[in-house]
């Protein structure tokens, strides 16, 4: 008796039935005989045909089981680190090796570099463990050329919830935050904290900014490193602190708009402060006749003019002044560049 393979089942086919199927289906009412499934034990049953739904369920069930097994194997290859150490990632193992050497290792150039890379690849749990080793030395680390990068990396990767101890240590009474704000590395740490601070620590950050200003934001806005903190406050600080910066800049408008660092703060303040403060600051800048052209021809003042052109209330006046002095601006390096940006330049660029 011939056999054929159907859907992975070995079925017996009746020769008579095979002949009937081969003939022309002239009689649509003729019923074709079903092939019988033969099981491994040799028994057969007419109710278990190849097209039987139970057979299909067994087939699909086997495929699902294989897919599940494959998925489990894949997950096992990426196992979460366990307390026993089985399945731990290379990063986790390296963290365990370095923990006894922290935080001392972060104060060395090569050590800080390796730790910074490790923070980017390690699990959150491991990064928290690394961060906790800095308890008690945050102030020193924040102003260190190498270790400050780790403090910033912890804040960036964990957020301020898990780094609350960093804020708390910076707020200790014996810590001079105003000096930190004007430090090359400390200012960077404060700016990072301002960027990533959330609602839970906003009150703490407000106190940090108050102590950084030390009653007047003028010194900070004009400082080589402090102006970075002032800019971060403008972008992420409270309205009260933005107002304090605006007031300080209004008093020093003529000097600040041409200052290497303060001009950057003025340009940002014009875009970030509330309408009332922007009006006061812009009016102070434009109060002197010819201020627009003079600033447009200045290497730092030109940044201020760009911001003024983005304020609808002042843009028409500023643009009109520039058109009236187009020939003069065309002869200046910075003025000519600004004209080109506005589509008013001819490409001429004379020396200042």
Q: Summarize pLDDT for 293-314 with one digit per residue, the tens.
A: 999 999 999 999 999 999 999 9
Q: What phi and psi values does residue 192 have, to the nearest 5 degrees?
A: -65, -40
Given the DSSP bridges, would you call strands 36-38 and 44-45 parallel, antiparallel or unpaired? antiparallel
Q: pLDDT band for position 27 (50/70/90)? A: very low
Contact partners, residue 145, CB within 8 Å, separation at least 6: 184, 185
- Alpha-carbon span 22 to 13, nearest angstrom: 13
Please tell me the predicted confidence (pLDDT) of residue 75.
41
Report the 10 Å Cβ neighbour count for 252. Answer: 16
Give per-residue burial for 26-36: e unless 16+ CB within 10 Å, then b: eeeeeeeebbb
- Alpha-carbon span 118 to 92, nearest angstrom: 9
Please tell me the predicted confidence (pLDDT) of residue 91.
80
Q: Token match 């990426």: residue?
A: 78
Q: What phi and psi values does residue 135 have, to the nearest 5 degrees?
A: -60, 130
Report the 10 Å Cβ neighbour count for 229. Answer: 31
Given the DSSP bridges, would you call strands 36-38 and 9-12 parallel, antiparallel or unpaired? antiparallel
Please tell me the predicted confidence (pLDDT) of residue 45.
42
Omega cis (within 30) before 103: yes
- Average the pLDDT over 174-203 and give the result: 88
Mean pLDDT estimate for the chain: 80
Tell me which H or E stretch contains 12: strand 9-12
Judged against a pLDDT cut of 90, whether residue 191 lies above it is answered with yes
Report the 10 Å Cβ neighbour count for 85. Answer: 10
Q: 347 vs 51, 297, 322, 327, CA distance in Å?
A: 81, 16, 16, 12
Please tell me the predicted confidence (pLDDT) of residue 163.
86
Contact partners, residue 261, CB within 8 Å, separation at least 6: 221, 222, 223, 224, 226, 227
For the four alpha carbons of 290, 296, 299 and 301, in that order, the dihedral sign comes to positive
Q: What is the tens place of the pLDDT at every residue in 86-108?
A: 334 778 888 999 999 999 999 99
């Amino acid at each position: 008796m011939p056999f054929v393979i159907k859907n992975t089942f070995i079925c017996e086919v009746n020769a008579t039935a095979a002949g009937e199927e081969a003939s022309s289906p002239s009689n649509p009412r003729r019923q074709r005989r079903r092939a019988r499934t033969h099981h491994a034990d040799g028994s057969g049953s007419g109710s278990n045909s190849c097209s039987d739904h139970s057979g299909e369920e067994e087939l699909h069930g086997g495929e699902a089981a294989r897919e599940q097994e494959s998925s489990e194997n894949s997950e096992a290859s990426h196992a979460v680190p366990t307390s026993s150490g089985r399945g731990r990632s290379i990063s986790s193992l390296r963290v365990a090796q370095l923990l006894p050497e922290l935080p001392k290792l972060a104060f060395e150039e090569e050590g800080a570099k390796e730790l910074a890379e490790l923070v980017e690849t390690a699990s959150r749990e491991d990064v928290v463990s690394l961060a906790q080793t800095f308890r008690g030395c945050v102030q020193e680390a924040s102003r260190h050329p190498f270790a400050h990068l780790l403090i910033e990396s912890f804040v960036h990767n964990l957020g301020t919830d898990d780094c609350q101890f960093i804020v708390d240590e910076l707020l200790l009474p014996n810590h001079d935050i105003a000096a930190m704000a004007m430090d090359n590395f400390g200012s960077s740490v404060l700016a990072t904290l301002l960027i990533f601070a959330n609602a839970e620590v906003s009150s703490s950050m407000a106190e940090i900014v108050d102590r950084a200003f030390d009653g007047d934001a003028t010194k900070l806005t004009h400082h080589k490193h402090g102006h970075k903190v002032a800019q971060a406050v403008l972008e992420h600080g409270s309205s009260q602190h933005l107002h304090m910066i605006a007031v300080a800049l209004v008093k020093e408008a003529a000097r600040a708009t041409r200052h290497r660092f303060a001009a950057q703060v003025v340009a940002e303040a014009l875009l970030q402060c509330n309408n009332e403060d922007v009006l006061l600051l812009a009016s102070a800048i434009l109060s002197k006749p010819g201020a627009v052209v003079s600033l447009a021809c200045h290497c730092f003042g030109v940044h201020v003019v760009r911001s003024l052109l983005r304020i609808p209330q002042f843009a028409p006046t500023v643009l009109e002044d520039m058109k009236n002095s187009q020939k003069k601006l065309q002869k200046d390096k910075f003025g000519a560049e600004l004209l080109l940006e506005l589509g008013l330049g001819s490409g001429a660029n004379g020396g200042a």
